[in-house]
Amino acid sequence: MKIIVFGLGNFGMSLAVSLTETGNEVIGIDSDMDKINLVKDKIAHAICMDSTNELAYSALPLKETDLVVVAIGENEGAAIITTAIVKKLSDVKLISRALSPIHDTVLTAMGVDNLVHPEKDTADRLTKQINFKTTLENYQLDNNFTISEVHAKADFVGKSVKQLDEINKYHLQLVTILRKRDRVNLIGKKSINKESLGIVKPETTIEKDDILVVFGSNKDISAYCDC
């Protein structure tokens, strides 16, 4: 994939290098030339620019980019402005770093669904999530095997677990099913939570929007997601 990473601090630089090492073409952007010099030989392209200046974006290949990560961590205002400009100029998939609960709220209001919190999410974990593309969450057991959350395919809906011959052809083992439930908190705010069905029974029926928790090799999980 072609990925642009804005902000080359500790988290952004680690992410840019990790994504490059796993086969992606990464463009790293920062306003600090010292950071550009540190990473320029480790990723495909390193550009020194002010990401809060909309005019500077004319030189960036946003329309040909698969993913943008706003990893700015020292300036909450710059992170929000950068996110807003990217949203304005393109419909590229966007992951934005959130620095505080208020930042979370602002980004969510802007329509950014993919938020990352470096205090909780390491660059290595986010790299795995990006590389698995359509998986939701991953727990890496070792270099070869992973437990992943994946969307149930449309042709699974309405079938029971014992009828899921299709999942067997991907050499994946179903661990459990996560089902979305509406919740209302004490102040009346609605939210959607994922609830596990626990150990699924053979007669359990797959519903629309179900999330399957599967175990398998990284190669087989990627094959499932790419189909």
Task: Return mean pLDDT, the chain.
Answer: 82
Q: What's the distance, Cα to Cα, between the start and end of the chain in Å?
A: 17
Domain end position, chosen among 116, 131, 146: 131
- How high is the pLDDT of residue 168? 67
127 and 144, same domain (yes or no):
no
Structural tokens at position 94: 């966007």
The number of folded domains in the chain is 2
At 156 the three-state DSSP class reads helix
* Tens of pLDDT, residues 204-223: 999 988 888 888 887 888 88
42 and 123, same domain (yes or no):
yes
60 and 30, same domain (yes or no):
yes
Structural tokens at position 63: 């329309």
* CATH number of the CATH domain containing 212: 3.30.70.1450
Instruction: Name the stretches of the chain with pLDDT < 50.
Output: 134-136
154 and 170, same domain (yes or no):
yes
- How high is the pLDDT of residue 128? 59
Domain end position, chosen among 113, 131, 149: 131
150 and 197, same domain (yes or no):
yes
**Parent domain of 102:** 2-131
8 and 119, same domain (yes or no):
yes
Inter-helix orientation angle 76-89/101-109, to 10°: 10
Checking 158-167 for CB contacts under 8 A at 24+ apart, the result is: 158/205, 158/206, 159/205, 159/206, 160/202, 160/203, 160/204, 160/205, 160/206, 161/200, 161/201, 161/202, 161/203, 161/204, 161/205, 161/206, 162/202, 162/203, 164/206, 167/212, 167/214, 167/224
Q: Which helix (H) or strand (E) holds 211?
A: strand 211-217
Half-sphere exposure of 51 (CA within 13 A, CB side): 30
98 and 203, same domain (yes or no):
no
* CATH number of the CATH domain containing 23: 3.40.50.720
159 and 211, same domain (yes or no):
yes
